[in-house]
Amino acid sequence: MNKILKASTVIFPAVLMLAACDNTSEVYTIGKNNPTVTTLEVSEEQIGEDRVTLTGSVRWEQSTSDHSFDGRFAISENPDFPAGETDTLYNNWNNISQEDTTTHYYDCSIEGLKRGTTYYYAFSITDDIVEVSGETRSFTTLGQAQDDPDNPTDAPRLVIELEYYADAIGGDQSVPFIIENYDTRLYGELIDEIFLVERIEGGDDWITDLGYGGVEYGEDGCSGYVHFIVAPNEAGYDRSCIMSVRLSIEGVVEQEEFIYISQPSMSVEEPNLIMREGTEFSVDAEGGDYDTFIPFIIENYSYEYFESHGEPALWIENGADWLSNVEYAYLEYESGGDCIGYINLTADANTSGSDRTGTFTFGFEDQSYDISISQPQLDTDLGNATGQFNGHDYVDLGLSVMWATCNVGASSPSEYGDYYAWGETETKVTYTQDNCERYNEDIGDISGNIRYDVAASNWGDGWRLPTRAELEELVDMCDWVWCRNEYSWGYLVIGPNGNKIFLPAAGNYFYQKHYNAGEMGNYWSSTPDDSRTSAYDIFFHTQNGYENLYVGEITRYYGQSVRPVTDK
């Protein structure tokens, strides 16, 4: 650690010797005279236990009486101190001798050094444009080092910040301290009688739980922190107090320091609810989750106000049965500012056959707003089949294959149809790993294979299971709208050419139980994965406004839906 030291000699300012000027004289500066700066070794006579006299010299290439420069010494316990480091510089010197017209000698006497300690020093000159430094040299002060427990030279000393500024909100506070030269081999560990904290003036009702803690002992001293609790400042004015910290070791040191604690007043403006974008909003016909949809602000509800009062007393009364999960969320507080948040809601798909409106009331304490939500009707027209093959309708979605309008085992687009384990062509009562015929069977893509492909087996040659690539094309190239058609929920899949098919959320079977009908859909592809125990399918799931849709892998023994395709 660098230590700021004190020059003890009477210091004279740098003397700038100015030559008489005429029209032909040249001004000589550092840059033009190429000085040689030398940091001179100090002799034994120049070193004491707590003092030193540093010397340096400057030699110029030619004699001149106009040298405009400042000379300065730097000293540090760190050998790598940078030139010009502010806390180790002495911008003062004494010109003690002049060998000739080109060489000048300077010195600086310093007191307050530590005994038995090695210091590094250098001499430099500058004209505010160019700085020239001599090499770094070192010396060691006389006497025993200060950390020698058998020869202590310094008494313990308490070092602590004397001014502390608490936030308006207050709360747990801590002020770090250091006790220098505190050696436990000499003094033992701190006890309550040694280190005291108390309130001296003010703060009687807003500063509590005074104490200290976190004490750790090192080679040269110990460190810790003073802790206390500051109450929020709702007084309407700034306030302050004085706290005393005392270090008392009988016969060694008696030291008392005062910490001045100040705290600004919190804002006294009343919080105010503002709807940032008005009170009328619209949601899409297909509904779904509208997270962070309606923003609002509570003015003057700052972070500090939140810390002292907790979350704002917001409330919602929902007057529309087709709106759900209407709640406020994402509250964020600005220091010294406002609270911002959003209203989160979920709207059902509008299959009512007409446009509709609804309202809910959003309030803060006794202040409220009526929020109006409108929603157009959903177009649930599935369109018409564009062709027929082997007695089954299909739709051209503008993709690489034609997609059937119904599931295998269904007679209309909204019916769930039958459920099949992968690679099997018959339904069954129980779907388990033990009774799955194709579980762990090493076979390739089964599309169109009448032995394994339920579409080909049930609907005849020309119909088949879609491949993994064809499922991915359906997901990636089409728009998917969650809606209700006739009596079932599912996805309206709109192709690039505008034609549509409907995939009901038929759920799936595991053992003898039917899972997640109306919320989830699983549709087999013909493509197995490399594990021989799973195959690819389309998976979609919607619940509480959250939607998932992707092509992934699932164990082959689940009973799932099949939507056939036929080639163009």
The DSSP line for 447-481 is TT-TTT-HHHHHH-TTEEPPPHHHHHHHHHHSEEE
Report helix, strand or coil for 186: helix
Return the CATH number of 6-140, one of 2.40.240.20, 3.40.50.720, 2.60.40.10, 3.40.50.1370. Answer: 2.60.40.10
> pLDDT value at position 335?
83
pLDDT tens digits for 350-396? Answer: 877 789 999 999 999 999 999 999 998 876 676 678 999 999 999 99
Nearest 5°: phi and psi at 331? Answer: -75, 130
Share of the chain above pLDDT 90, in %: 46
pLDDT tens digits for 537-547? Answer: 999 998 665 67
CA end-to-end distance (rounded Å), the chain: 83
What's this model's pTM, rounded to 2 decimal places?
0.42
- 187 vs 249: CA distance, rounded Å: 8
Most confident of 154-168, 257-271, 371-385, 526-540: 526-540
Band (pLDDT 50/70/90 cuts) for residue 95 is low
Provide the token pair at 304: 């500090």
pLDDT tens digits for 38-90? Answer: 999 999 889 988 889 999 888 877 665 556 677 788 888 887 766 555 556 66
Per CATH, 6-140 and 157-263 having the same topology is answered yes
Residue 204 has pLDDT above 70, yes or no: yes
Q: What share of the chain is helix, strand, coil (3-state, %, to 5)?
A: 5, 45, 50
**Residue 120 neighbours by CB under 8 Å, 6+ apart:** 75, 76, 77, 78, 79, 81, 136, 137, 138
Question: Side chain identity at 443, as an amino acid letter?
Answer: I
> pLDDT value at position 20?
32
Give the residue extent of every domain in the chain: 6-140, 157-263, 273-375, 387-567
> pLDDT value at position 65?
53
Domain 273-375 has CATH 1.10.10.60: no
> pLDDT value at position 545?
57
Residue from 456, 436, 429, 461 nearest 445 by CA: 456
| Span 297-310, average pLDDT | 86
| Span 143-166, average pLDDT | 73
> pLDDT value at position 83?
54
Are the CB atoms for 438 and 423 separated by under 8 Å?
Answer: yes
- 194 vs 445: CA distance, rounded Å: 83
Range of weakest confidence among 83-97, 244-258, 514-528: 83-97
| Span 329-353, average pLDDT | 87
Average pLDDT, the chain: 84
Are the CB atoms for 398 and 383 separated by under 8 Å?
Answer: no
- 269 vs 414: CA distance, rounded Å: 59
Nearest 5°: phi and psi at 544? Answer: 55, 35
Residue 493 has pLDDT above 60, yes or no: yes
- 431 vs 506: CA distance, rounded Å: 16
Residue 337 has pLDDT above 70, yes or no: yes
Residue from 481, 480, 448 nearest 564 by CA: 448
Share of the chain above pLDDT 70, in %: 83
**Which of the 8 DSSP states describes residue 237?**
S
> pLDDT value at position 303?
85
Are the CB atoms for 108 and 90 separated by under 8 Å?
Answer: yes
> pLDDT value at position 146?
57
pLDDT tens digits for 276-291? Answer: 899 999 988 877 776 5
> pLDDT value at position 156?
87
- 111 vs 50: CA distance, rounded Å: 6
| Span 497-525, average pLDDT | 94
> pLDDT value at position 145?
66
63 or 37, which is more confident: 37
| Distance, CA of 501 to chain centre | 45
> pLDDT value at position 264?
86
Band (pLDDT 50/70/90 cuts) for residue 193 is low
Residue 176 has pLDDT above 90, yes or no: yes
Task: Specify the CATH superfamily of domain 157-263.
Answer: Immunoglobulins (2.60.40.10)
Residue 16 has pLDDT above 80, yes or no: no
